[in-house]
Amino acid sequence: MMFRRVAMTDLVAYGLILVFTAISFVPLMALVFFIIAKGLPRLDLDFLFSISPSLESGGILAPLFGTLVLTVIALVIAVPISLLAAIYLSEYARKDRWFHLIELTIVNLAGVPSVVYGLFGLGLFVIFFGFGKSIIAGALTMACMSLPLLITVFYQSLRAVPMTLREASLALGASRLATTFRVVLPTALSGIFTGVILATARIAGETAPVLFTVAAYYMPNLPESLSDQAMLLSYHLYAISTQNTGVSDEQKYAVTLVLVGLVLGINLLAIAARAKAKNKISSLV
Amino acid sequence: MLIIERAIRQLRDNLHAMTEVVLEMLELVVGALEKGDTAELETIFKQDKHLDQLEKSLDRQCMELLALINPHASDLRFVFSVIKTNVDLERMGDEMKNVAREIKNTTEIPPELKELSRQVYATAKKAFRALAESDAKSSMEIILDDDKIDTLEYNIIQKYPQLGISLTAKALERIADHATNIAENIIYTVEGIDVRHENTIRQRLSQK
Amino acid sequence: MTMEDSTNPQPILQVRDLNLFYGEKQVLKKISMEITPHSITAIIGPSGCGKSTLLRCFNRMNDLIENCRVEGSIIFGGKTEINDRKLDVTELRRRIGMVFQRPNPFPKSIYDNIAYGIRVAGKVSKSELDARVEEALRKVGLWEEVSDRLEDSGMALSGGQAQRLCIARTIATRPDIILMDEPTSALDPISTQTIEELILELRENYTVVIVTHNMQQAARISDFTAFLYQGELVEHSPTKIMFTRPAEKRTEDYITGRFG
């Protein structure tokens, strides 16, 4: 019967879609479970929060601390700049040729491989400005790398604020500035928050840009100032996995687990925040 | 055709049906007066009943149109005029009943009365045609010619003291009055000007 | 609806030869009209005839639109030229408020929604702010309904309540004129009725100019009606006249629904 045939094709298509979804989903889950299974036994508070006297002895406080500090400083530099840029693009810029040129530039910057940022940071901050390999040079490099992402997300969340709210504010005699800071920004806040979290995950996980600008192969102590080098989780993992160091496999997997857990956790947070932002905006439209 | 146009068309058709009935009745009256034959006048009463029914149904139609379709401007003026014209038509029927009642007992019909009835008939016919054609110009003529009928009626009452004759003359004159009212309604519908009780406007319009 | 004997003959808005262009396209053509104080003027016309654009000329909301050009003059209150580029538009918009098509309360509390316009105008004491918020809510008949939940979000109100909140928000800046851009087109019939009654009450203290695509609404509440067609002001006359015997053929055709 005809009805039956239609139902059969439908079923086959449904099955295919399911399979393809699984293909993208299963490897990730497998990876995560594999890392957990291998790394979890080595993981304890002492491993996380002690400074290792040598590479082999474990204790990853130094790279963990380095990653946190670098991330925070990079965000402190990048977020205000990106926010102001996004506000300019969304609230003030005329939508002319210049606007589209800037837009194109940002999109292109977002596509630049991260190692290029690393080399750029090496050239500009480490050598030209003479910061040397230091936290400040690394943070500036990371900030540069996250600018396109932040500006794009901020711009989109500002644009998502309904025009009617801006009109209402302006019609009540508010200036553009007051409208932006009293109505548009508060409304876009959860979208902005999402952007920040996404950038956090990106910065925490990247290796290439820090390679030439900040990362230390091994330090027996925590960095003391912004001009010091620092160990970083991502680079630490790279180092112990590629160099012949005699670090145990268990320890490598534990470091991997911490890094993946950190990035994954932050990303989940971003997903939750984004859902909240969507809800808020859709209730306005 | 738009909903409002369909509704207005229907109203026009029903109004036309009523004017046809009134015209038939008037023909009967004029014929009876000419020939002095009052036997046929019995049908007047039957037709008046019919007219009453038509009046009620047209009223209901107008109410429904106002409530449901909300006419504006010329449409509104038209419906408003139909409501008023409806009353005039029904009154014309009533007056013809009076004529029929009075003539039955009158043996001798004076020639002036025949003339009056012919003129009333002509006026009514002209008014009904103006109504069908939304003709403001001939409506104005009807209003201006009303005086002639008044004079004719006045003369009859002066000349013939018999009650039956003067009552008949009065009833015929009133029929012409109603035709004049209808003419005024037409002018309001078409021009949006209320010419009732306004001699200056009448003069101005008649000069145009 | 008294339009015969207006006590103040000085018009609050005088529009002279107003032309408006979006790029090359002329949207408003040589519009001249006067708005009487303490009256309700309805602007009607088919979609795209420029009625909202005309309304937005009165509080310079067209400034937001890129490559929009305005010629001609609009005099407010007998002396202020609205089209003066040097005019402080924030002050102008406090004097000429606007209510929009869809209720658009800010995602803030009911209190903050009303206080917003007052706060951006300058510092006021808490007690004065409280008083003005209450006054505005009372004027739109919302005080009884929300006085015990002023801290709740303005977004939680029903459509009709939210629109009254938006009107209260406008009133709070103490305007002379309130512009309304199809204020009931997103509301149910009962809420529409409430808003219409409110608009009639507003006439006592304010001048109202309302754009509506609902001709019945224009007929019910306005003293004057302006009919706009393809950017031209075809007719502007007392509503009673407009809806019984309009002077222009095009008005007649539009009002009776014979358009096209």
Q: Please count the other Cβ atoms lying within 10 Å of the Cβ belonging to residue A155.
A: 23
User: Does A4 score more than 80 pLDDT?
Assistant: no
What lies within 8 Å, CB to CB, of C253 at 6+ separation is C259
CA gap A180, A169 in Å, rounded: 9
User: Does C195 score more than 90 pLDDT?
Assistant: yes
Please check whether residue C247 touches A, CB under 8 A: no
Report, as an integer, the average pLDDT of A87-112.
Answer: 90
At C176 the three-state DSSP class reads: coil
**Within this chain, do residues A29 and A155 fall inside the same structural domain, yes or no?**
no
Q: Please count the other Cβ atoms lying within 10 Å of the Cβ belonging to residue B105.
A: 10
pLDDT of residue C183: 95
pLDDT tens per residue across span C123-154: 999 999 999 999 999 999 999 999 999 999 98
**Within this chain, do residues A135 and A259 fall inside the same structural domain, yes or no?**
yes
pLDDT of residue A159: 93
Per CATH, is C3-255 categorized as 3.40.190.10? no
Domain that holds residue B64: 2-206
pLDDT of residue C2: 41
**Within this chain, do residues A181 and A193 fall inside the same structural domain, yes or no?**
yes
pLDDT of residue C46: 93
Q: Which chains touch A (3 or more CB pairs under 8 A)?
A: C
Q: Residue A170: which of C66, C91, C93 has the nearest Cβ?
A: C93
At C109 the three-state DSSP class reads: strand
Report, as an integer, the average pLDDT of B178-197.
Answer: 92
User: Does B47 score more than 80 pLDDT?
Assistant: yes
pLDDT tens per residue across span A57-67: 777 888 888 99
Q: Which residue has the higher pLDDT, C109 or A215?
A: C109
Closest C-alpha among A221, A248, A250, A215 to residue A233? A215
pLDDT tens per residue across span C78-124: 889 999 999 999 999 999 999 999 999 999 999 999 999 999 998 99
The CATH number of whichever domain residue B125 belongs to comes to 1.20.58.220
CA gap A152, A45 in Å, rounded: 38
Angle at A260 (CA atoms; ends A256, A262), nearest 5 degrees:
120
DSSP state, residue C203:
T
The CATH number of whichever domain residue A167 belongs to comes to 1.10.3720.10
Could you tell me how many residues make up chain C?
A: 260
Contact A69, A223 (CB under 8 A): yes
**Within this chain, do residues A93 and A81 fall inside the same structural domain, yes or no?**
yes
Rg of chain B on CA atoms, in Å = 18
User: Does B96 score more than 60 pLDDT?
Assistant: yes
Name beta bridge partners: C259. Answer: none
**Within this chain, do residues A115 and A193 fall inside the same structural domain, yes or no?**
yes
Contact B82, B15 (CB under 8 A): yes
SS3 readout for chain B: CCHHHHHHHHHHHHHHHHHHHHHHHHHHHHHHHHHCCCHHHHHHHHHHHHHHHHHHHHHHHHHHHHHHHCCCHHHHHHHHHHHHHHHHHHHHHHHHHHHHHHHCCCCCCCHHHHHHHHHHHHHHHHHHHHHHHCCHHHHHHHHHHHHHHHHHHHHHHHHCCCHHHHHHHHHHHHHHHHHHHHHHHHHHHHHCCCCCCCHHHHHHHHHC
pLDDT tens per residue across span A118-139: 999 999 999 999 998 999 999 9
User: Does C50 score more than 80 pLDDT?
Assistant: yes
Grade residue A50 by pLDDT with cuts at 50, 70 and 90.
Answer: confident
Report, as an integer, the average pLDDT of B147-171.
Answer: 90
Query: Are B72 and C251 within 8 A, CB to CB?
Result: no
At C56 the three-state DSSP class reads: helix
**Within this chain, do residues A22 and A58 fall inside the same structural domain, yes or no?**
no
pLDDT of residue C4: 45
Measured in degrees and rounded to the nearest 5, phi and psi for residue A10 equal -55, -45
pLDDT tens per residue across span B117-136: 999 999 999 999 999 999 99
Q: Residue C252: which of B4, B70, B74 has the nearest Cβ?
A: B74
pLDDT of residue B197: 81
Chain C positions in Cβ-Cβ contact with residue B5 (cut-off 8 Å): 258
CA gap A141, A60 in Å, rounded: 24
Query: Are C246 and B73 within 8 A, CB to CB?
Result: yes
Q: Which chains touch B (3 or more CB pairs under 8 A)?
A: C
Tokens 């909903």 appear where? B3
Report, as an integer, the average pLDDT of C226-245.
Answer: 94
What lies within 8 Å, CB to CB, of C53 at 6+ separation is C20, C27, C28, C62
User: Does A172 score more than 50 pLDDT?
Assistant: yes
Burial of B191 (C-beta count, 10 Å sphere; 0-12/13-18/19+): middle
Distance of CA A170 to the CA centre of its chain: 35
pLDDT of residue A241: 84
Please check whether residue B66 touches C, CB under 8 A: no
**Within this chain, do residues A73 and A188 fall inside the same structural domain, yes or no?**
yes
User: Does B12 score more than 90 pLDDT?
Assistant: yes
Residue type, A246: G
Grade residue A94 by pLDDT with cuts at 50, 70 and 90.
Answer: confident
Minimal Cα distance from A283: which residue of C? C155
Q: Which residue has the higher pLDDT, C20 or A259?
A: C20
Write out the two tokens for A42: 């080595």
**Within this chain, do residues A268 and A128 fall inside the same structural domain, yes or no?**
yes
> Which ipTM value was assigned to this complex?
0.91
Structural domain tally of chain A?
2
What lies within 8 Å, CB to CB, of A164 at 6+ separation is C100, C102, C104
Write out the two tokens for B154: 């006045």
Grade residue B206 by pLDDT with cuts at 50, 70 and 90.
Answer: low
Contact A52, A251 (CB under 8 A): no
User: Does B65 score more than 80 pLDDT?
Assistant: yes
Poorest-confidence range of B2-6, C8-12, C227-231? C8-12
Tell me how close the Cα of A109 comes to any Cα of chain C, in angstroms: 28
Grade residue A201 by pLDDT with cuts at 50, 70 and 90.
Answer: confident
User: Does C223 score more than 50 pLDDT?
Assistant: yes
Report, as an integer, the average pLDDT of C209-237.
Answer: 94
Structural domain tally of chain B?
1
Mean pLDDT, chain B, integer: 90
DSSP state, residue A53:
S
User: Does A242 score more than 70 pLDDT?
Assistant: yes
Tell me how close the Cα of A105 comes to any Cα of chain C, in angstroms: 23
Q: Which chains touch C (3 or more CB pairs under 8 A)?
A: A, B
Domain that holds residue A27: 2-41
